[in-house]
Amino acid sequence: QVQLVESGGGSVETGGSLSLSCVASGYTGDFACMGWYRQVPGKEAEGVSYIYIGGKKIWYADSVKGRFTISRDNTENTVYLQMNNLKPEDTGTYFCAARNWGDQCSMELLDGGYRGQGTQVTVSS
């Protein structure tokens, strides 16, 4: 059974930093495409970032460009999200997602993939 477990969430003030991690287990081989979503109550989940295996392709939402950095450890099927200069609008539950689909990687692709339970990030003003 595939499981994705996120960690690293917490509460910080505006301008602070947090580092999220997500470990995928129960899967034989590597997930080629891994990424992060975030969601606040009453709103749809928003794609934050994704990374293709080996870092060959990386994408960020405009709202986080220059502040967030995604990376991964292919040997551990682990994806990270370093979040700097956090703003109140970054508040939400952050989920990681993973999927294999050839050499494709996108947030749309991850919509149909495995997803974790999420970790809460709260940024106060």
pLDDT given at position 16:
98
Using DSSP, state whether 1 is helix, strand or coil.
coil
| Mean of pLDDT values over 3-22 | 98
Percent of the chain with pLDDT over 70: 100
**Distance, CA of 75 to CA of 30 (rounded, Å):** 8
Q: Is the pLDDT of residue 76 over 80?
A: no
What is the Cα–Cα distance from 93 to 35, expressed in whole angstroms?
A: 14
Which pLDDT band holds residue 24 (cuts at 50, 70, 90)?
very high
pLDDT value, residue 74:
75
Strand ranges for 32-91 from DSSP E: 33-39, 46-52, 58-60, 68-73, 78-83
Taken in order 59, 112, 78, 124, the sign of the CA dihedral is: positive
pLDDT of residue 82: 98
SS3 89: helix
Mean pLDDT, the chain, whole residue set: 95
pLDDT digits (tens, 9 = 90+) for 28-75: 888 999 999 999 999 999 999 999 998 889 999 999 999 999 999 977
Burial category of 54 from C-beta neighbours within 10 Å (exposed 0-12, middle 13-18, buried 19 and up): exposed
Q: CB–CB of 80/49 below 8 Å?
A: no
Alpha-carbon distance values, 59 to 12, 44, 56, 65 (Å): 25, 19, 10, 9
